[in-house]
Amino acid sequence: MTFTTWIINKLILTFGLKSVFRHTNPAHECHSHSDISVFCFCFLWGLLFKQHSTDTHEYKVRNGLE
């Protein structure tokens, strides 16, 4: 995954999920905590998938499967 693709995916996830997790009551303006939580959750899962992909590729190269 290229850096540009990663940035585009992050922006889509951030702005797409932001509208899902908004409160319907505008009196409570505490969106920053939920936005940060969702962003961290997505970011950590993205790192996990990237690391798994790297480890899988390294395993295949080391064992001559690729």
Q: What is the pLDDT of residue 1?
A: 61
Listed as ranges, residues in the chain with pLDDT below 70 are 1, 3, 8, 11-33
Q: What is the pLDDT of residue 13?
A: 67
> Distance between alpha carbon 66 and the CA centroid of its chain, in Å?
28
Domain residue spans in the chain?
A: 35-66
Number of helices followed by number of strands (H, E) in the chain = 2, 0
State both tokens at 45: 């899962």
State both tokens at 49: 């998938």
